[in-house]
Amino acid sequence: MATMKDICKRAGVSIATVSAVINKSAYVSPALEERVNKAIQELNYRPNAVARSLKKKSTKTIAAIVTDIENPYYPTMIRGMDDVAFNFGFSFILCNTTNDPIRFRNYLDLIVEKQADGLLLANISTEEELAQVEKTGLKYVLLNRKPPAYDKNYVGINNMLTTELSIKHLASLGYRDIAYFSGDLLISTARERWEGFQSGMHQQGLKVDEALVFHGDYTFRSGYESTKKLLTETKQLPEAICAASDLVAFGAVKALRESGIRIPEDIAIMGNDNNPFSENFIVPLSTVDHPKYEMGKMAMELLLEEIESKERKFPKQIVLPPSLVVRDSCGWKSE
Amino acid sequence: MATMKDICKRAGVSIATVSAVINKSAYVSPALEERVNKAIQELNYRPNAVARSLKKKSTKTIAAIVTDIENPYYPTMIRGMDDVAFNFGFSFILCNTTNDPIRFRNYLDLIVEKQADGLLLANISTEEELAQVEKTGLKYVLLNRKPPAYDKNYVGINNMLTTELSIKHLASLGYRDIAYFSGDLLISTARERWEGFQSGMHQQGLKVDEALVFHGDYTFRSGYESTKKLLTETKQLPEAICAASDLVAFGAVKALRESGIRIPEDIAIMGNDNNPFSENFIVPLSTVDHPKYEMGKMAMELLLEEIESKERKFPKQIVLPPSLVVRDSCGWKSE
DNA sequence: CTGAAAGCGCTAACAA
DNA sequence: TTGTTAGCGCTTTCAG
C-alpha cells in the first residue's frame, strides 16, 4: 500500500501539502494540487483511516448491538441505520448478541477497544445492561426497547397506541369480546402494548376479561401455545384476538386452523408490527405498521448529530407513530 | 481514556512491561504482573485497538458486502459470519449496497481505507465487480453467488442439486407436466438451478415444455406475474410448478388462489431455499433447504484461515448440500 | 503558500 | 527480566 510519503516523493512536495489536498484543509496552489492528485491516481493511493483515526481520535464508525438479526424486525431497522451511516461516511459494525449476556459484555469491550465513536442499542431492557453501556463512556442512543424510567436519547414508536389502534379497529367492526396475547412484560414495548390494550378497551367501553389474557412472548410458538390454552380452558371462543406481534398472530392462526376454526368468519385476529410476510399470510393479516426503517434511520441521525456537534446536546426522545393496516383477518363491516 | 503510559506510571513499571502483560508476549515476574493488572483494573483501562492496528498492520475486522439485508436469505448467513468472527475476536462491518453499483464502489473504498483484513461478498455476479474487488488487494471469499468461471475461494451450495431434488420429488409423486419459474439468469445460482431443472427432468425421463418455463427473478412479484401469465397463456394447467425461490412460490400461490385454484389438489408447487415463513405459509411449502448459516460460517472460517496463516493457501471451493423439505404444497403419494 | 517536526497509543527490537 | 526507543501513517501547529 502506498503511503503519503510515497505520494510526496512522487509529486515532489512535502507531506503537509499532500495532507492539505486530500483533506482540502488548506489552500494549495493549483499546480501542486494537480501534481499531488496525479501521484495519487498513479499509485492508486487510499488514505489509511487507521492512522488518521489514531491522530484524530475518531474512527468514524458506529456499532449497533441487536439481539437477533434473524427476527425480521431488525434487518429493516439496520437498513435505516446503514443508509444514514453510509451518507455520513461512517461505517457500521454489527453485533448480534443472540441474547447472550456474556456475549453482550464482550461486544461492549470490543467496541471500546476498537474506539467506535458511538453505539446504537435496540434491545436494552434492564438498568444493569444500561449501566454497562454507560460504563463504556461512549455516546449512544437506544432504540425500540428501553429500561424502565429511561429518559435519555431514544427513538421508538408509540407502542401504547399500537394496541389502542387495534382495539379501536376491532371495536368499530363490532367485536366486544376480545382476547389479548401479550409479549414478555419484562420488555418495555410489551408493557406498553399491554397498557394500550387495557386503555383501548376502556376507551371503547369494553372490559378486559382476565380469563382471556395470556402472557407469553413475541414468538410464533407463544401465539400457538396461547391459542391451544385458550381453546382448552375456555368454553366459548372470544370474538377476536389481539396479538402483541405478528408472529404471535401467525402462531394463533396456525392453532386455530388446526382446530378447524375459520378466520375471520369464526374469530377475528389482529397482529402488531407488520411483518413482511403478513400481507401474504394464510389470511392477510390486519395489523399495525411500525416505521422500522425510520426508527433505525433516526436513531443513527440522532447519534451522529450528537457525535458531530461539540456541545453537549440535550437528551432527546423521539416517538414515531404506528399506523393501522387493514387487511382480511378481522373481516369487514357488513354495511 | 487511560493509556498504557498511565498504566505504567501507576504501576511503576515501563511501558514494555505493560505491553508484555497485556499481550502475554513475554515473561513478566508475578509481582509486576500483579501491579500492572491492578493498575489496569483501577483505571478501567482498555487497550486502544486502533493504535495497535496501526503498528501491527492488522485491524482484526472483516467487512461483508450484501445487496439486500431485508431478504431473509441473508440474516441467517450473517449470523453464521458473526458467530465465527466473534469467536476469533474479529469484528464485522456490514455493508448493504441495496444493489447500487456506485454504493458498492464506495463501500470498497471505505473498506480499504479502514484497512479491513478481509472481505466477504455474497452477491458478486460479474467479472467487472470481481475486478473491482481484486483491485482492493484484500483477501476475500465469495459466497452464494459468483461470476462465470470463477475458480478462487468460494462457498456456496449445490444449486443444481436443489432443482434436481425438486423434480425428483415431484416425479415421485407422479407429476410429469411441470412448469419452471426461473430466477434471473444473470445470477449464477439462478443459472445453476435452471440447469438442475433441465437435467432433473431429463433424469426422470420427463421433457421440458418451453411454454411452461418463465424467466423472471427471485421475487414474490415475479412469481405472481409468471403465474398470471401462465394462467392466461396456457389453456391447460400444468400438474406442478417448480419455483426458483420460496418467494417466487409464495407469489405463485397468491395468484393461484386468486383464481380459485387449490394447492395441492389442483396443482402442486415446490419452492426453493426454505424461507423462514414457508413452514407456516398459507399452505406449508415443500421446498429445498439451503444451509445458509453454514454458508456464512464456513465462508468466514475460510477467510480467517487465509488471513491468519502466513503462507499463501491454495484456493478452495466449498459446496454444501441442499436438502429436500417435504411439507404440504405438493400433496402426498396416495398409498 | 509550503515544509519540518512533533506526537496520537501501541509494539517490538535491542540494550541493560 | 525489564526498560528505552524507534517507528506505524497521518494531522497539525508553527516557521519560513
Residue A10's domain is classified under what CATH number? 1.10.260.40
**Confidence band of B333 (pLDDT split at 50, 70, 90):** confident
In a domain, B120, yes or no: yes
Q: What is the pLDDT of residues A140-169, one digit of tens each?
A: 999 999 999 999 999 999 999 999 999 999
| Percentage above 90 pLDDT, chain A | 92
Strands (E), chain A: 61-66, 91-96, 118-123, 139-145, 154-157, 178-182, 213-215, 240-243, 268-270, 287-289, 317-320, 323-325
* Residue A43 shares a structural domain with residue A139: no
Looking up residue A68, the CATH number of its domain turns out to be 3.40.50.2300
CB contact (8 A) between residue A98 and residue B79: yes
Domain assignment present for B326: no
Q: Inter-chain contact A69–B82, Cβ cutoff 8 Å?
A: yes
Which nucleotide's C1' sits nearest to the alpha carbon of B48?
Answer: C9
By Cβ distance, the residue of A79, A115, A280 closest to B96 is A79
**A90-99, A306-315, B283-292: segment of lowest average pLDDT:** A306-315
Domain extent for A178? 159-290
- Whether A150 and A246 map to the same domain: the answer is no
Mutant choice from A4, A56, A67, A113 vs B, greatest count of B C-beta within 10 A:
A113
pLDDT at A295: 98
* Together in a domain, B166 and B148: no
Neighbours of A83 (CB within 10 A): 18
- Residues A26 and A85 both lie in one domain: no
Do A11 and A131 reside in the same domain of the chain? no
The answer to the question of residue B52 being in a domain is no
Residues B168, B280, single domain; the answer is: yes
In-domain check, residue B333: no
H or E element at residue B66 = strand B61-66
Is residue A248 assigned to a domain?
Answer: yes
Question: How would residue A334 be classed by pLDDT, with cut points 50, 70 and 90?
Answer: low
A287-303: average pLDDT: 98
> Does residue A332 lie within any of the structural domains?
no
In this structure, chain B runs to a length of 335
- Give the whole-number percent of chain A exceeding pLDDT 70: 99
C-alpha cell at A120: 446504537
Nearest to B49 among A96, A114, A277 (CB): A114
Give the lowest-confidence range in A241-245, B2-6, B295-299. B2-6
In this structure, are B164 and B278 located in the same domain?
Answer: yes
pLDDT band at B334 (very low <50, low <70, confident <90, very high): low
List the single residue in B with minimal CA-CA distance to A224: B280
The pLDDT of residue B309 is above 90 = no
Task: Give the Å distances, CA to CA, from A9 to A21, A24, A50, A150, B310.
Answer: 15, 20, 22, 55, 31
Strand order across the beta sheet in which B154-157 lies: A317-320, A154-157, A139-145, A118-123, A61-66, A91-96, B91-96, B61-66, B118-123, B139-145, B154-157, B317-320
| Mean pLDDT, residues B165-186 taken together | 98
Same domain, B174 and B260: yes
Q: Which nt has its C1' nearest the CA of B5?
A: C9
User: Is A90 a residue whose pLDDT tops 60?
Assistant: yes
B55: part of which helix (H) or strand (E)? helix B49-56
State, as a whole number of angstroms, the distance between the CA of A52 and the C1' of D13. Answer: 16
Residues of chain B above pLDDT 70, percent: 99
> What's the Rg (C-alpha) of chain A?
26
Q: How far is the CA of A40 from the C1' of D16 (A)?
A: 27
Question: Residue A312: is its pLDDT beyond 80?
Answer: no
Residue nearest to nucleotide D5 (CA to C1'): B16
Give the pLDDT score at A333.
72
User: What is the pLDDT at residue B153?
Assistant: 97
Q: How far is the CA of A180 from the C1' of C10 (A)?
A: 57
Contact between the CB of A60 and strand D at under 7 Å: no
pLDDT interval class at A240 (50, 70, 90):
very high
Question: Residues A298, A155: contact at Cβ < 8 Å?
Answer: yes
How far apart are alpha carbons A271 and A180 in whole angstroms? 11
Q: Is A283 helix (H, G, I), strand (E, B) or coil?
A: coil
Set of chain B residues whose Cβ sits within 8 Å of the Cβ of A111: 91
B223 and B163 both lie in a single domain = yes
Determine the Cα–Cα distance for residues A112 and A92; give it in Å rounded to an integer. 14
The reply to whether B143 and B199 lie within a common domain is no
Q: What is the mean pLDDT of residues B54-82?
A: 97
The arithmetic mean of pLDDT across residues A44-70, rounded, is 96
Q: Does the pLDDT of residue B79 top 90, yes or no?
A: yes
Structural domains in chain A (count):
3
Whether A179 contacts A213, CB under 8 Å: yes
pLDDT at B335 over 50: no
In a domain, B72, yes or no: yes
Q: Is A112 inside any structural domain?
A: yes
- Quick one: B31 exposed, middle or buried, by C-beta within 10 A (0-12, 13-18, 19+)? exposed
**pTM of the complete model:** 0.94
Q: Based on the domain organization, do A255 and A168 belong to the same domain?
A: yes
In angstroms, the CA B276 to CA B76 distance is: 10
Return residues with beta carbons within 7 A of strand C: A 13-17, 20, 26-29, 31-32, 51, 54-55, 57; B 1, 3-5, 15-16, 19, 22-23, 25, 47-48, 51-52, 54-56
